[in-house]
Chain A
Amino acid sequence: MTTTVEKTFNIFDILIGTKGEEDFGKKPVIIQGMTGSYGSTHTRLMKAYGTNIPAGVTPGKGGQIFEDIPIYNTMSEAVGATGAQISGIFVPAPFFLKAAVEAIDSGIKLLVAIPEHIPIRDAIKVLEYARRKDARMIGPNTPGVIVPEVMKVGIMPAQPFKAGTTVVFSRSGTLMYDVSYNLTSKGYGQRLCLGIGGDPINGTNLIEAFDLVRDRDDVESIVVVGEIGGDAEEQLAQYIISTNFTKPVIAYIAGRAAPKEKRMGHAGAIVYGNYGSAESKVTNYAKANVPVAKRPAEVPELLAKKLRM
């Protein structure tokens, strides 16, 4: 059984703070790898969306300015100057381990690990280090996290998302956009959309993600976008049953028609025997009374039905 998270971690406090705070909705976010092509494109887009980005880090480029944002050589300088607790990591995979450890050492409490192709051992090392230092990682290989109409740390486009009371957790990036777009177009806005990541190791797994919202009054329902590979959905179903999770949950699972023992684009999307298969996930969700949509467009229909019940 997966260990559940310390209840003290409040992602909404970290991401947007509490009403009345001077910097409510404007919590500082540092972008590591800001001057790279990916980092720079998305720094502009995040800023345009409303994210407060007072500093960037690129070793060797300290002193430069990008889009009015000062660049620092090290995380400790950037954190020292801004007091940020959030870092968006946009460095290439081979530099991820070093960048993440540096961020944690500088006092960062929430790492949003965007890059794909992170070696498994590096992800485990960062995860273990983060636990020791009371920090949390989202990802790697995640589109990031968005509080619609407030801020985002990640690479998701703005259009699919709208403020509301549904939460979307997704193991896939584009499907998070597609499903959120479907929800939005049927009137179900989102309070939070968070990419779990497409890798075998997730800094924040589905159960921990559920813990983040289970006691929140501003969250009415949850949509989980899963895919083949691993047993995250099976564990989640068990969690929903054993902890008596009462908020309505709708699921979608991609990869029903995928062949076995083939990696389907994501490092984590691979079925061995029955382990990781869509059938196993659907069966377990059924036990937890979680309806599974056949296609992204069916998600809002199932949600509407569930909310009427």
Chain B
Amino acid sequence: MRLLEYQGKELFDEFGIRVPRSHLAHTVQEAREGGNKLGYPLVIKSQLTVGGRGKAGAILKCKNEVELEPKFNELLHKEVKGELPRGILLEEMADIKRELYVSLFLNRSKRCYSLISSAEGGIDIESAGSKVMVDVPIDGLTSQQAEETANKLGLDGETVISFVDFTTKLSKIVNEKEAELAEINPVAILQDGSFMALDAKVIIDDNAMFRHPELKKYEHISELEKQAEVSGFSLVELDGNIAIIGNGAGLVMSTLDMVSDAGGRAGAFLDFGGRATTETIYDALKVISKIKKVEAILVNLFGGIVRTNLVAQAILDAYNNNLMNVPVFARISGADSEKAREMLQGSKAKLYNTVEEAIQSAVSTLKNSRGSA
């Protein structure tokens, strides 16, 4: 779960990391109140779960109240990578002496946490000239590691102490809240030598959420995603009109690739996991039926334990209960496929021997219906 900036900063504040004074606003009225409280100039920032908002112009400076209203409205309606903001954060302008980059992240190839920092802040870390990286023990960054890192970054005097304080607190957050990533870009060193987190990108390990009821309030999933989650499905909504359902994340991804290669556009990715029963398939179709842009459903099931006739029954039930009316193109490798084929005769669902055939058929059917419309 990726936290919004203001949520990450709430965590920082809770653990004693300094953040700018701020005010979260969803309406112009709330923004004006924030402006009065914080004073001017201030900065307004879209609250998004996608990166690249600076480049997209979703962070703006406001010199005074006159500037605030139009700029606030601009951000409120500005999509970044297809996402509208979930609120706009107003923040005081900090008195910055210099900036750093600090990130504590799960290092997948080394299979541990690592701290990466740079004496250049506010940059793309990939292209930063001087980076310092250190592997962090599972119990957390030690003061000695933090101090060595500060020295390598060329910090001195008070700022070394501030750096140690800042990074060990960050490590505590990552450990206690089970984050995969806590990136701050930039960290400001203020005129008085103290540190302040100007941004916050925090990702919590979804699989550890059962130990963190206190973080539940930060979840921002749609009704549909919630429904999928309750059924144990992984669902990702996409832009196209073909919904892809399958047993296994890799298999559904692979099908998505092949649909794309065949000139089709996927509208949903749904992995219903290991168990292919009539109920699971029916529930999966139910979730998909709520996505209005879906015009065809592609089912790709693989595994010897799958009973093909159970899948066919679920598809028939979905049609009979008027859950859906769109055609289903299915490749189901499993027992009883002849019987399943018979069951589906006369319905809008069809079984194919290979996934390639099912995809070809789905893509050309959609193309033809478009042509005749």
A residues whose Cβ falls under 8 Å from a Cβ of B:
2, 93-94, 116-121, 124-125, 127-128, 155, 157-160, 170-178, 181, 198, 200-202, 205, 225, 227-228, 230-232, 235, 252, 254-259, 261-269, 272-273, 294-297
Looking at the assembled complex, report how far the CB atom of A196 sits from the nearest CB atom of chain B, in whole angstroms: 11
In the complex, the 9 A-B pairs of residues with the closest C-beta atoms, listed nearest first: A172-B250, A265-B249, A174-B248, A157-B304, A257-B260, A175-B250, A119-B208, A174-B251, A265-B234
Question: Who on chain A is nearest to B258 by CB?
Answer: A295
Looking at the assembled complex, report how far the CB atom of A98 sits from the nearest CB atom of chain B, in whole angstroms: 14
Residues in A whose Cβ lies below 8 Å from that of B248: 172-175, 265
Contact A225 B250 (CB under 8 A): yes
Selecting from B102-110, B154-162, B280-288, the interface stretch reads B102-110
- The number of residues on chain B lying at the interface, defined by a beta carbon within 8 Å of a beta carbon of chain A, is 50
Contact B253 A255 (CB under 8 A): yes
Whether, in the assembled complex, B266 has its beta carbon less than 8 Å from a beta carbon of chain A, the answer is yes
Counting residue pairs across A and B whose Cβ atoms lie within 8 Å, the total is 157
Contacts A119-B211, A174-B251, A225-B250 given; does A264 touch B236 at CB 8 Å: yes
Residues in A whose Cβ lies below 8 Å from that of B208: 119-121
Looking at the assembled complex, report how far the CB atom of B205 sits from the nearest CB atom of chain A, in whole angstroms: 5
Contact B106 A257 (CB under 8 A): no
Contacts A117-B207, A160-B304 given; does A254 touch B250 at CB 8 Å: yes
Residues in A whose Cβ lies below 8 Å from that of B236: 258-259, 262-265
A88 to B175, CA, bound (A): 29
B254's contact among A175, A235, A262, by CB below 8 Å, is which?
A175
Contact B210 A94 (CB under 8 A): yes
Contact A2 B250 (CB under 8 A): no
Looking at the assembled complex, report how far the CB atom of A230 sits from the nearest CB atom of chain B, in whole angstroms: 4
A155 to B275, CA, bound (A): 11
Interchain residue pairs with CB less than 8 A apart (27): A2-B111, A119-B211, A121-B205, A158-B304, A172-B250, A173-B274, A174-B250, A174-B303, A175-B248, A175-B250, A178-B302, A181-B302, A201-B111, A225-B250, A232-B109, A256-B260, A257-B259, A257-B261, A258-B253, A258-B269, A261-B49, A265-B250, A265-B252, A273-B51, A273-B126, A295-B254, A295-B261
A112 to B55, CA, bound (A): 45
A266 to B256, CA, bound (A): 15
Whether, in the assembled complex, B238 has its beta carbon less than 8 Å from a beta carbon of chain A, the answer is yes
B residues whose Cβ falls under 8 Å from a Cβ of A:
49-51, 106, 108-112, 126, 138, 175, 178, 180, 205-208, 210-211, 234, 236, 238, 246-254, 256-261, 266, 269, 271, 273-274, 302-305, 333, 354, 356
Contact B253 A228 (CB under 8 A): yes
Looking at the assembled complex, report how far the CB atom of B216 sits from the nearest CB atom of chain A, in whole angstroms: 16
Contact B274 A155 (CB under 8 A): yes
A94 to B211, CA, bound (A): 9
Contact A177 B303 (CB under 8 A): yes
A261 to B206, CA, bound (A): 14
Residues in A whose Cβ lies below 8 Å from that of B273: 116
Question: Who on chain B is nearest to A174 by CB?
Answer: B248
Contact B302 A174 (CB under 8 A): yes
A165 to B259, CA, bound (A): 32
Looking at the assembled complex, report how far the CB atom of A296 sits from the nearest CB atom of chain B, in whole angstroms: 6
Looking at the assembled complex, report how far the CB atom of A49 sits from the nearest CB atom of chain B, in whole angstroms: 11
A178's contact among B51, B205, B251, by CB below 8 Å, is which?
B251
Contact B247 A174 (CB under 8 A): yes
Question: Who on chain A is nearest to B254 by CB?
Answer: A254
A232's contact among B108, B257, B260, B303, by CB below 8 Å, is which?
B108
A265's contact among B49, B109, B211, B253, by CB below 8 Å, is which?
B253
Given contacts A200-B180, A254-B257, A257-B261, 11 further A-B contacts (CB under 8 A): A120-B207, A121-B175, A155-B274, A160-B304, A173-B274, A202-B111, A255-B256, A263-B206, A264-B236, A269-B249, A273-B126
Question: Who on chain B is nearest to A230 by CB?
Answer: B108
